[in-house]
Amino acid sequence: MLKKKSKYVIAVVGATGAVGNEMVEVLEEREFPVERLRLFASERSEGEAVRFGGSELPVETLKEDSFQGIDIALFSAGSELSRIWAPVAAKSGCVVVDNSSQWRMDAEVPLVVPEVNSSDLKRHKGIIANPNCSTIQMVIVLKPIHDAARIKRVVVTTFQSVSGTGKKAMDELLQQTRALLNFKEIKTDVYPHQIAFNCLPHIDKFLANDYTKEEMKIADETRKIMADYSIRITATAVRVPVFRGHSESLNIETEKKMTALEARAVLSAAPGVVVFDAPEKNVYPFAVGVAGKDDIYVGRIREDESIENGLNLWIVADNLRKGAALNAVQIAEKLLEMA
């Protein structure tokens, strides 16, 4: 477990990526008690610098002894790197908060969204998993509804921005958009098809059941975080030509009747949630409006008239912040509270 200190040595692994950069920014914005910040990335990034606290910090390459003296390491460098280096870091006495999918479904590793299941942090053994970005924004909204009316089934369709794939995908959307607007040929590299002015019902690899890995992550991770494996969940994940911010359409069936008015009240009182719902005034959340914000925004709250106990919701969040970097830093903040 983490030892109580006034300040801590923190590492960000994958510091030059979109989420890694956001982690550094969030640490500074939230005035995390950092004694020293160390930044790691691939050999290609060695020698680069990232700004923090008014200084330019060098980016290092990972070595066997890199985690000596580090208290908490925030990982955002992909599953393969986390598989290799997270155990090395934990063995060095460092607590790892990992943003990849590598450890999420490991029974020995807590999968945590602080507003939902922070108590699970007590059982960590050196590695804590940060959930999928789409899962995070969904469970924060589902939890208060589940507590009040018990959720039986969720049907979710996600509309996910290209930043969820990384900087290369953001560059590809920009380049394709420019090419199309100038009547030039487009190039596809990151995605199998054109993403500019298009929607791709394909995120991550297709599995034997014809769902994608992303769709199954959403279902499996949600049940683990909510600690209720009886909830039936089906997902369709769609990549959309938006740079930043994931949107989700949720259809929820509950055991107990919950009216739209009751849902608004319950969600208005939930931590990390902003109800932004006045359709008669064209007020509802959208990706451009939530970029750079920390909360989960909920709108289009209405009762599903096709079933007895059903709700429809539209939820939007900044996937690089609460969907990744902010949630990881909040986990670290909880660790400090528990020390």
Query: Which residues are part of the catalytic machinery?
Result: 133, 246
CA dist., res. 165 & res. 170, Å (int)? 8
Three-state secondary-structure class, residue 269: coil
Residue 53 backbone class (left: φ over 0; alpha: ψ -120 to 50; beta: rest): left
**How open is the CA angle 95-96-99, to the nearest 5 degrees?**
155
CA dist., res. 285 & res. 275, Å (int)? 9
CA dist., res. 265 & res. 11, Å (int)? 40
Three-state secondary-structure class, residue 41: strand
CA dist., res. 248 & res. 222, Å (int)? 14
Residue 218 token pair: 């959403």
- Residue indicated by tokens 């921005």: 161
